[in-house]
Amino acid sequence: MLGEYWRGAARGVNSVFMFTLGTGIGGGLVIDGNLWNGRSGIAGEVGHTIVQINGPRCACGNRGCLEALASGTAIVRNYQERKRMKQSLTARQVVERARKGDMVAASVVRQAGEALGVGIANVFHLVNPALILLGGGVSRAGKLLIQPAVGKARSLIRPALRRYLRIRRGQLGDDAGVLGAAYLGFRSIGLDVHETL
């Protein structure tokens, strides 16, 4: 989140929430240039917010967490279950299959997108950020995932408020984390980071 704020898709935006969609789902909130950590560092753990009561079991022990429905791990598990297959594969491979016309793969990715949309609507109502960013490997699924996510999120937001929903994909890919760490490091020694590099 900090990397994207400093050098990427959230430059100059004063309130941003980022979903990082990968094997798990994480998140981060930047307000006025500062990452909001919460008291014990778990702020932004959007992956463990519950989007489906009695939904599938999450690694954390609860049911219906966003991570149990929309992470890469969930996409793979749902695909394997629907196809009754034991062969191991990656979320990227499920997405490739969806692109090639595998209807089950497309449906699994769409369902993940809809769950993500519920998470996005929740964040929108709770934080009302100027921008919501989507990053992480699973976000590379592109339209297949993001269209249903945006559609679902919009359907959960009152019409008069929908125009305030802004969603973008991150720009920095795997470099976002290291740039964010650099940003924190520079700031901790008092460098004016917007002049640095």
Binding residues for Zn ion (CB under 5 A) = 48, 58, 60, 62, 65
* CB of 26 or CB of 148, closer to Zn ion: 26
* CB of 58 or CB of 141, closer to Zn ion: 58
Cα distances (Å, whole numbers) of residue 20 to 136, 140, 163, 197? 5, 11, 23, 25
* CB of 60 or CB of 161, closer to Zn ion: 60
Alpha helices, DSSP H only, in the chain?
A: 2-7, 66-70, 72-83, 91-99, 103-127, 143-155, 176-188
Task: Report, in Å, the least distance between residue 165 CB and Zn ion.
Answer: 25
Query: Of 5, 59, 54, 36, nearest to 180 (Cα)?
Result: 5
DSSP code of 22? S
* CB of 46 or CB of 149, closer to Zn ion: 46
Three-state secondary-structure class, residue 63: strand
Task: Report, in Å, the least distance between residue 25 CB and Zn ion.
Answer: 9
How far apart are alpha carbons 174 and 169 in whole angstroms? 13
Task: Report, in Å, the least distance between residue 128 CB and Zn ion.
Answer: 24
143: left (phi over 0), alpha (psi -120 to 50) or beta: alpha
- Token pair, residue 13, equals 């935006």
* CB of 62 or CB of 171, closer to Zn ion: 62
Task: Report, in Å, the least distance between residue 58 CB and Zn ion.
Answer: 3
* CB of 65 or CB of 115, closer to Zn ion: 65
Task: Report, in Å, the least distance between residue 85 CB and Zn ion.
Answer: 25
- Token pair, residue 189, equals 């020694």
